[in-house]
Structure 1
Amino acid sequence: MNSSKQPVAAVLQETSRIVRENDGPVTVARLTEELGPGSLSAVLALPALAVVSPLSGVPLFSSACGILICLVSGQMLLGRTHLWLPQWLGRRKIKGKAVRKMAAALRRTAQWLDRHSGKRLPALVRQPFLTIIRLVCLLCGALMPLLEIVPFSSSLLGAAVSLLAVAMLTRDGLIALLTLSGLGAAATALAAGLV
């Protein structure tokens, strides 16, 4: 996977290609492996984008995506360049038709993200800020299984992780800054409402 001009659209195109070539259900392990073992930001973007799609209404789908987001962002925090998945998650199969529908539904969003991203404020997607971005992705993924009972609530967290993954893919610090600011404001409002 190597499209520097349209990294988000490239993730969806590559995902569709993998599913077409496998002709039927594809395992999570095969999908993440073929997306590129060294491109963890691309692998992180896929489950995050999937949670934003209508597939998030499928029971336990958001939880599985949240676990995958936790695993990927956790390994990014540890500095790994190759993804490790537990066997039970790696063997989980995803229907090819569902993946193609998800990719088609998100194509316009991906193109919009690619058009509106660029190398702005690149210092904000380097260390030490990169650690903060990865930690926020980990926390968002960890919350998704807890929000499973509230339909489509994980989509908001998925959108945040998607934007942060895009920021890392495109080296766009402005997207990271705006996303983290929005999450901070939402967390503050939620905390104020609970007090």
Structure 2
Amino acid sequence: MTQTATPGEHDQSSGPVQDILGRLEQVSQARTVTLGDVVAAFGARSFLPMLMVPALLLISPLSGIPLFSSVCGLTISLVAAQMLWPGRDSLWLPARLMRQQVRGVRARQAVARLDRLGRWLDGHARRRFAPLVTGAGGRAVLGAACLFAGSVIPLFELVPFTSSLLGLAVLLIATGLMTRDGLFAVLGLVVVVIAPLVPLLALGVAVDPGPGGAI
């Protein structure tokens, strides 16, 4: 049942991404916020929201905190792996990961910065190419893509924009799964393929600066 919105919360007409941001906004009212607090807010059976939350945070200014992207990537890979696990209906995360925390004020600022993105995603998501996200094969491919994205994020954390691109990819896939929008899911897969090329291109430019360049 949808609860009546209170000041500072997203209204009842908001879509799934805005609903998740609204829940994050509520959790961030505390002085410090742990990953365990977020899991408790969404419930241990909420696989897709818990896939979307770290993806959203990777796109926020919080991704600039050292090792924060790695924590988000590990969370994404663990959630995706359990989504692929046949018969798994309850989310498990390591206690050490659940204790990871961020200051509430920084979390609130990050959520506020994501509001426009949430509105855009909810406003443009619609049911299309549904078999891509409803069939067992399609969901397995999407889950594997999220598992891959989460796994490589710690490797590329120091490369600018890479972790945020992979966060965007997972966000698009999760939004596609939640809204039955196969187009969003496919766009997410494309970004998963492209994002890891960024550090390789950056390394190529550094090694070969071009005519007249100096090493």
Same fold flag (TM > 0.5): yes
Is there any run of 5+ residues in structure 1 with no aligned partner, and where? none
Q: Which residue of 2 aligns with 1:66?
A: 73
Give the distance between the partners of 1:188 and 1:16, measured in 2 at CA. 31
Confirm or deny that 1:100 pairs with 2:108.
Answer: yes
Within-5 A mapping of 1:21-40: 23-40=30-47
Deviations 1:35-92 (A, max 9, x none): 1322211111110011111211111011010001011111111142221010100111
Q: Which residue of 1 aligns with 2:148?
A: 139
Within-5 A mapping of 1:5-24: 6-20=15-29, 23-24=30-31
Per the TM alignment, residue 121 of structure 1 is displaced from its structure 2 partner at its CA by 1.4
Confirm or deny that 1:125 pairs with 2:133.
Answer: yes
Q: Which residue of 1 aligns with 2:50?
A: 43
Give the distance between the partners of 1:72 and 1:188, measured in 2 at CA. 20
Per the TM alignment, residue 19 of structure 1 is displaced from its structure 2 partner at its CA by 2.3
Q: What RMSD over aligned residues (CA atoms) do the two structures have, in Å? A: 2.3
> Compared with structure 1, are the counterparts of its residues 100 and 141 closer, same or farther at alpha carbon in structure 2 (3 Å cutoff)?
same
Are the aligned partners of 1:27 and 1:90 in contact in 2 as well (CA < 8 Å)?
A: yes
Is there any run of 5+ residues in structure 2 with no aligned partner, and where? 3-11, 205-215
Q: 2:46 is aligned with what amino acid? A: S
Larger-gyration structure (1/2) = 2
Q: SS at 1:120's partner residue? A: coil
Give the distance between the partners of 1:16 and 1:114, measured in 2 at CA. 17
Higher relative contact order (CA 8 A, sep 6+): 1
> Compared with structure 1, are the counterparts of its residues 173 and 15 closer, same or farther at alpha carbon in structure 2 (3 Å cutoff)?
same
> Compared with structure 1, are the counterparts of its residues 77 and 95 closer, same or farther at alpha carbon in structure 2 (3 Å cutoff)?
same
TM-score calculated relative to the size of structure 2: 0.81
Q: SS at 1:128's partner residue? A: helix
TM-score calculated relative to the size of structure 1: 0.89
> Compared with structure 1, are the counterparts of its residues 188 and 35 closer, same or farther at alpha carbon in structure 2 (3 Å cutoff)?
closer
Give the distance between the partners of 1:15 and 1:188, measured in 2 at CA. 28
> Compared with structure 1, are the counterparts of its residues 41 and 60 closer, same or farther at alpha carbon in structure 2 (3 Å cutoff)?
same
More helix by share: 1
State, as a whole percentage, how many aligned pairs show the same letter.
41
Aligned length: 190
